Each structure stands twice: as structure tokens, then as C-alpha cells.
Amino acid sequence: MELIYDYPVVVSLIVIIAIVYHVFKKHVNEKVKVMYETYKEVPTLTGLTGAEAARKLLDANDLSQVKVEQSGRGVLSDHYDSYAKAVRLSKNHFNRSSLISITIAAHEVGHAIQDRDKNSSYRFQQKILSFIIFAIKFHVQTILITLGIGLILFAMFGLERESAFMTPTFISGGVLAVVGLILPILDFVFPIATLKVESDASYRAINQMKRLKMICNAEEEQRVKEILDVIRLTYVIAVFE
């Protein structure tokens, strides 16, 4: 059966999808900006700073060994380091007593809890991330090693033994090709895995905040949900980039 493609229609659909994506991305970025500006000055009823909230949440979950540190990477550089066992908060969240500060702190503690519980989605995401980092470094190192070996053999054996030069180049080229094929696949799978992990961390965050009375009323709870929902949208965008 012969398939007939209407190329103008296909091209039009691609253009429409691209436009919708960019409009949605712009909307999400604007929403993140508005949300941040709105809630960064909203104080918490408990008076806790981001660092204090993180410490309280960690201790309540038997994670006293996990450190709470200030990140030096700038605004919105908050993250959990699974290797150093540390929750790192940006300067504007570490010392500030605001609703967004304690919400982001609770979200990062959610990752620490995932790590402690050996959450399958979290561990899968971390393995992908580790492989991507390794593959990128390996890619560069392999190119340099290949060139080095090739030049040495070429200098030793000359043009008569050109095949000696080609052998390591061919082998390492094959390895590079395999890595090059795997990386784009992981580049797509990683944000999907991340979306699931981040959603779970947000779910844990709000539950922990309610359990430890960091959320004092229904209005504050609704604001916390809004902050976490906007954060989640940024990961939805990442899936399609």
C-alpha cells in the first residue's frame, strides 16, 4: 500500500506545533517570573527562613546527616546534591523568610527523601544524568586520545603503515558513533524522567509542610500549590526542548 503524504499539510502542522510550543514556553516563563516576584516578598506565618525550614524537615525525616548549605551559583540555583548529601539553597532563599523560600526548600528536601527511600524514578533519573555527564566527558577524551595515538603511530610507521593509523581511529570512531546515537535518546528520556521525579518531590514537599505545620491555613496551602505547579510547568517545557 503506497502512502501519500500531503507535504504542505505536514509542513503547516509542524509550523503550528512549533508556534504553539513557543507561545506556551513564553507563557510559562512569564508565569514563573510573575510567580517569583509575587511570592518572594510574601512572609511565612511561621517566620522560618529557607535554611531553617530545610533543616527542620530533614531532621523530622531522620536525615540529620544531610547538610543545608548556601549555593554559590546565583538566583534559583537551589538543588539537592545526592553525592555530597546536601540541600543547597540560593542566597535569596537561604536566609529569607518568605513563602517561596520555604516551599523551594521543602521541594529540595523532597529529593533527599527520595534518595533515602531509594525511589526507583529518582535513582533511574540519577543514573541517566551520570551517564550523560560521563558520555560527554568520554566523547571529548576519546577524540583527543584517538588523535594522539594516530599521530604517534603515523610518526613511527609513516605512510607505509597508514593502516596502523586507521585502526585505532576506526575503533574509537565506532565507539564515538555509538555514544553519539545514545546521547540524543537519553537527552529526550531524561526530562521525562525528571518530570516524574520533580512531581513526586513536590507532592512530598507539600505533605511534609502540612505535617510539620509549616502551612498554617488554607490560603497559604493554596499559594504553596501554585508555586509548585508553576515549577512543574518548567519541567513540562523541558520535555519538548
CA dihedral 42, 108, 94, 83 (to 10 degrees): -170
Tell me the one-letter amino acid at 86. A
Per the CB < 8 A criterion, the answer to whether 27 and 79 are in contact is: no
Helix axes 120-157, 162-211, angle to 10 degrees: 160
Out of 30, 69, 108, 160, which one is annotated catalytic? 108
Residue linked to cell 576519546: 142
Is residue 108 annotated as part of the catalytic site, yes or no? yes
Tell me the one-letter amino acid at 74. G
- What b/e readout covers 36-66, taking b as 16+ CB neighbours within 10 angstroms? eeebeeeebebebbbbbbbbbbbeebebeeb
Where in the sequence numbering do the catalytic residues fall?
A: 108
